[in-house]
Amino acid sequence: MPTLHFPGKRPHLPPPATLRLESVVLGDDATYPPEDNRLLWGDNLALMAALMPQYEGRLSLIYADPPFFTNRRYRARVGRGEDSRQPHTWRLAEGYADRWASLDDYLAFLYPRLVLFHRLLAPHGTLYLHLDWHAAPYARVLLDEIFGPRRLVNEIVWVYHGPSPIRRAFNRKHDTILMYAKGDDYTFHADAVRVPYNPNTVATFKASPKAGFGKVPDLKRGKVPEDWWYFPVVARLHRERTGYPTQKPEALLERIILASSSPGDVVADFFCGSGTTAVVAARLGRRFVCADATQQAIHTARLRLMRAGAAFTVEAAEGLTVSPQPFPPAWQPRAAQEQVCLPPEALARAEGWEVGFVENGVFVSTAQAARPPRATTPPPACLPWKRHSRPWAVRLLALDGEMWQFQAPLEGGSIHKR
Ligand SMILES: C[S@@+](CC[C@H](N)C(=O)[O-])C[C@H]1O[C@@H](n2cnc3c(N)ncnc32)[C@H](O)[C@@H]1O
């Protein structure tokens, strides 16, 4: 079997990250307790090393959408109500870097992570590695080496369309998703992902008893999709668009999660970006472990999960700290009648906000509100607060990653029922 050699190729297991619990978010629509759903901030190699004792051989599905080796820097769009056709007017924040000294450098980054994915997967588990023409052929050789060439289940091609400045080649409009199983007995729920037959196929079978050489498929049940998938990219007018760069469509993750995991399973994404995998996993009744190295990604994913009503924890690798700013005086929250309310000045800046309390340095969020992505109307002004014995606290999250926190004073922090 051919193998790939490059400097720095080693199955590197770094010292495990020390994880610090930063927030517990108690969403309304939660199926599982918050500690079952984890959003982790840090470098995924050290994070995976830290997760090894708890999850080695236990993850049912890993979806990985790493940087593609494009040698570009990606920015997040954080404006609201902007004209998408006028890029010079957009408000931008740091997204993530996909810059490398060389292909060797990139593969030396990818390889130890692929080795850990393999270790973390359960015997019935599946990896979906999402790349494009830049690096997919190299990754395929690496995965054949790590999983064994027989473990390649599918090379899925995700096709889409969109504008392109290319004039001397065909427009590059597909990504490659390499699907590898850990063992022979991998989960695959064919019936969960069936799609309708093409109307022409249905018409052909109805027109002639000889179609399909007499073998008539169950036309009502639909078919298992081919290994090429069309889903539109998340474009500027799509409701799910967060502004985080290279965000993947929820429909794509839905198919992957439905096919290769069961309700209650743990689904992981260690390059989670805006949190697409986490949001879809929560909606489909799966647990999730999702990680990203950038604060902007964790912030975006947190807001998305808040909108979805999920219960989850946010943890940060040691050395990374969330430092909310104090509330400006004009934003002072008011508390009355089992509610905490924000003035319009604060709401105008809020993409989302939360009421809760702080315990041992951890923000416990008991109620959340967020505006829909890109909406110009602010989120609701009041949130319930019923834990009368505790002093309450408020967190406010802006789209650009900024965060503010207000702590009610110990005395007067409790709300009296009338
Ligand atoms: C292609 S984007 C993922 C987009 C995501 N699938 C979505 O739908 O929003 C790749 C992500 O990998 C993250 N990343 C890059 N290197 C990382 C590392 N060493 N550890 C954790 N995350 C990393 C980047 O910050 C970026 O958010």
For residues 63-83, give the mean pLDDT. 90
- Determine the atom of ligand 1 nearest the C-alpha atom of 242: 9
Where do we find the tokens 């298992």? 224
What whole-number distance in Å separates Cα of residue 280 and Cα of residue 257? 8
The minimum-distance atom of ligand 1 relative to the CA of 98 is 15
Average pLDDT over residues 245-271: 97
The mean pLDDT value of the chain amounts to: 93
Probe residue for ligand 1, chosen from 100, 292, 304, 320 as the CB with the greatest number of ligand atoms within 8 Å:
292
Q: For residue 74, list its beta bridge partners.
A: 96
Flag whether pLDDT at 360 surpasses 70. Answer: yes
Contact indicator for 128, 64 with CB cutoff of 8 Å: yes
- Whether 165 and 183 have beta carbons less than 8 Å apart is answered as no
DSSP letters for 313-356: EEEEETT----PEEPPGGG--EEETTEEE--HHHHHH-SEEEEE
- Determine the Cα–Cα distance for residues 417 and 401; give it in Å rounded to an integer: 35
Cβ of 248 closer than 6 Å to ligand 1, yes or no, is yes
How many A from CA of 324 to the centre of ligand 1? 23
End-to-end Cα spacing for the chain? 76
Tell me the C-alpha to C-alpha distance, in Å, between residue 273 and each of 32, 41, 245, 248: 22, 11, 8, 9
Q: Is 66 in the pocket of ligand 1 (CB under 6 A)?
A: yes
336 pLDDT band, cuts 50/70/90, is: confident
**Ligand 1 probe mutation, 256, 267, 271, most atoms within 8 A of CB:** 271
Contacts of 265 (CB under 8 A, 6+ apart): 60, 61, 187, 286, 287
42/319 Cα distance (integer angstroms): 9
Strand partners, 393: 356, 407
Ligand 1 centroid–CA 417 distance in Å is 46
- Could you give the angle at which helices 276-283 and 295-307 cross, rounded to 10 degrees? 20
Amino acid at position 10, single letter: R
Mean pLDDT of 205-210: 80
CA angle, 244 then 246 then 247, to 5°: 65
pLDDT digits (tens, 9 = 90+) for 150-174: 999 999 999 999 888 889 999 999 9
Q: Is the pLDDT of residue 418 over 70?
A: no
Topology of domain 19-187+226-317, per CATH?
Rossmann fold (3.40.50)
Residues 192 and 260: their CA atoms lie apart, in Å, by 10
Q: Coil, strand or helix: which one is 241?
A: coil
- Closest C-alpha residue for ligand 1 atom 12: 271
